[in-house]
Structure 1
Amino acid sequence: MRGSRAGRWVVAIPMAALALATIYPLVFTTNVAMKTRHDYILDRFSPARSPNLDNVTTAWTNVGMERYVVNSLVVVTSAVALLLLIGSMAGFALSHLRFRGSRALFLGCLAALFVPFQVIMVPLARIMADGRLMDTYAGLILAYVAQFLPFTIFLMTSYYTGIPGEIVDAARIDGNTVYGVYRRVMLPMGRSALLSAGILNALFCWNDVLISLLMMPSPEHRTLMVGVTSLRGQYSDDIPVFASGVLIAALPVLVLYLFFQRQIADGVTAGSTKG
């Protein structure tokens, strides 16, 4: 009994320290955002004397964070929708439709997971420039799809492999076409994996800086994370405004995780263990 309690403490103490190290930056950023510039200069770490949202209002209106949020929502929503559509179709095909080269194609998608974006960024930029897709929503959406599609295909293929082939055969006997099996059987049965893939891809796209900075050089087309990065140079002498921009960018991600943390864990676990 004592040994089990000691074992729990051995696990609990490091996990509590990790949780504190994770939560503290968010608390510190929120506290700084609530301060005036004068209070921050006097003492960076003390609690805000008179908390207010003036810095958040300044970052939202004067700096243009509202436009950055809209740009991010348009790009992330479109990219995630395409990723789920293509990834689920490819996952179904690679897991249950036998055709020549399917194994090699899956291994190619798996190998693409290990290719850093820095390796392909120059060729990608040249292709996008030749196609007149630089500094456009369509170009950034396609870049996100190209970057995160291998992960989506891998997750969906791993999940769909765990679905017995007899279910697909029974659906075909009932008169369904391949598309009918995908729409009526695979999509409903893969909801947990689709939700997990959608949330993870949304987080990947939302938090991206490098791809967006490469594809969207114009200030009016910047996504939220690139806009927050640019605040560091514009407001290097007004840290509370910069902290407010960081807080605005972090809140959607935090809310998404708080509401869907169980679905993220369940979907990733199911997709990585089935089959």
Structure 2
Amino acid sequence: MAGRHLGNRIVAVPMAVLALATIYPLMFTANVAMKSRREYILDRFSLTSSLQWDNIVKAWSSVGMARYFANSLLVVSVSVALLLLLGSMAGFALSQLRFRGSKALYLVCIAALLIPFQVIMVPLARVMADAGLIDTYPGLILAYVAQFLPFTIFLMTSYYKGIPAEIVDAARIDGNTTYGVYLRIMLPMGVPALLSVGILDTLFCWNDVLISLLMMPSAENRTLMIGVTSLRGQYSDDIPTFASGVLIAAIPVLMVYLFLQRQIADGVTAGSTKG
């Protein structure tokens, strides 16, 4: 018993250090966002003496963070909806249906996970430019779907492989078509996996910088993360305003981690024991 307590304490020390290293940058950013420019210049590491909410208001309205936030919300919502729809359909087909080339197609999806985006970014940009999709919301949405669909298919296939084939056979005996089995049986049963994968896809799309920077060159169509990076150059002499923009971008992700951490963990481990 004593050895177990000692082991727990030994593990707790590096975990506490890791937690502190994770929390401190956020707390430092929030503290800077609440300072005036003069207060920050005099002592950037001290605690703020007054809460300067005007910095956040300025970042949200004057700087254009509200527009960037709306762009990200639109693009991420549509992208995740398409990813879940296509990923769940492909996962059902690859795990429960038997057709020629299904195993090869599944291996292609897994292989796609190993290809960095930097390898395909130039051909992707040329294809999107030829199709007239550069600097458009549909273009960015398609780029997100293409980039993160293999990951979604992999996790959904792994989850659906754990569902007994007898359930699908029983549904067919009851008169369901393939689409009926998917809509009435597999889709409701896949809700836990869809929730977990949807959260992960949302975080991937929301935090993306490279794809958005490639697909959205104009300022009015920027997503939130690109808007935050652009603030660093525009407000290099007004760090509290820049910190306010960073805080606005971080709050949605922080809320997701705080309230949906169990689903995130389930999504990460969804394919670890099956398939």
Equivalent residues of 2:155, 2:270 under 8 A apart: no
TM superposition shift of 1:166 = 0.6
Aligned to 1:171: 171
**Gap regions ≥5 residues in structure 2:** none
Q: How many residues align?
A: 275
Deviation, 1:259, is 1.2
Aligned-partner residue type, residue 35 of structure 2: K
1:149 alignment partner in structure 2: 149
Whole-angstrom CA distance in 2 between matches of 1:50 and 1:235: 21
Note the 1:159-198 alignment, pairs <5 A.
Answer: 159-198=159-198
Deviation at 1:272, TM superposition (A): 2.8
Hey, what's the Cα distance between the residues in 1 that align with 2:157 and 2:189? Answer: 13
- Higher mean alpha-carbon deviation, 254-263 vs 22-31, is at 254-263
Task: Report the residue type matching 1:14 in the other structure.
Answer: P
C-alpha distance in 2 between matches for 1:192 and 1:9:
34
3-state secondary structure, aligned to 1:273: coil
Partner of 1:219: 219
8 Å CA contact retained: 1:193, 1:267: yes
Secondary structure at the counterpart of residue 85 of structure 2: helix
CA offsets per residue over residues 21-78 of structure 1, 9 Å max, x none? 0000000000000000100011111100111211101100110000000000000000
1:65 paired residue number: 65
Equivalent runs, 1:91-106 vs 2, <5 Å: 91-106=91-106
CA contact (8 A) 1:193 1:271 kept: no
What one-letter code is carried by the residue in structure 1 that aligns with 2:90?
A: A
Q: Is the 8 A contact 2:139 2:215 kept in 1?
A: yes
Q: What's the CA shift for 1:170?
A: 0.5
Q: Distance in 2 between matches of 1:102 and 1:95?
A: 9
Q: Distance in 1 between matches of 2:193 and 2:267?
A: 5
**1:238 alignment partner in structure 2:** 238
Q: After TM superposition, list the pairs within 5 Å mapping 1:8-47 onto structure 2.
A: 8-47=8-47
TM-score (normalised: structure 1): 0.99
Correspondence 1:111 to 2:115: no
CA–CA separation in structure 2 for the residues paired with 1:175 and 1:20: 57
Unaligned 5+ segments in structure 1 are none
Q: What is the percentage of aligned positions where both structures have the same residue? A: 77
- Bigger drift between 170-179 and 263-272 goes to 263-272
Amino acid at match of 1:55: N
Judge conservation of contact 1:193–1:268 (CA < 8 Å) in 2: no
Q: Does the CA-based 8 Å contact 1:212-1:226 persist in structure 2? A: yes
| Matched residue type, 1:114 | L
The aligned residue for residue 56 of structure 1 is 56
Give the deviation of 1:103 after TM superposition: 0.5
Structure 1 residue ranges, 4+ long, deviating more than 3 angstroms after superposition: none
Letter in 1 for 2:269: T
**Take 2:268 and 2:236, find their aligned partners in 1: how far apart are those partners?**
39
SS of the aligned residue for 1:134 comes to: coil
Q: Matches of 1:266 and 1:202 in 2, distance apart?
A: 15
Once the 2 structures are TM-superposed, how far is the Cα of residue 256 of structure 1 from its aligned partner? Answer: 1.2
Counterpart residue number, 2:90:
90
- Residues 140-180 of structure 1 show CA distances to partners (whole Å, capped at 9, x for unaligned) of 00000000000000000000000010100000110000001
**How far is the alpha carbon of 1:253 from its aligned partner?**
0.6
Amino acid at match of 2:261: Q
Structure 1 residue 110: deviation in Å? 0.2
What's the offset of the Cα at 1:257? Answer: 1.4
**In 1, distance between residues paired with 2:190 and 2:234?**
46
Confirm or deny: 8 A CA contact 2:140 2:216 kept in the other structure.
Answer: yes
On the 8 A contact 1:159/1:272 being kept in 2, the answer is no
Distance 2:4 2:271 in 1: 32
Pairwise CA distance, 1:13: 0.5
Q: Against the structure 1 CA distance between its residues 149 and 165, is the aligned structure 2 distance closer, same or farther, given a 3 Å change threshold?
A: same
SS at match of 1:105: helix
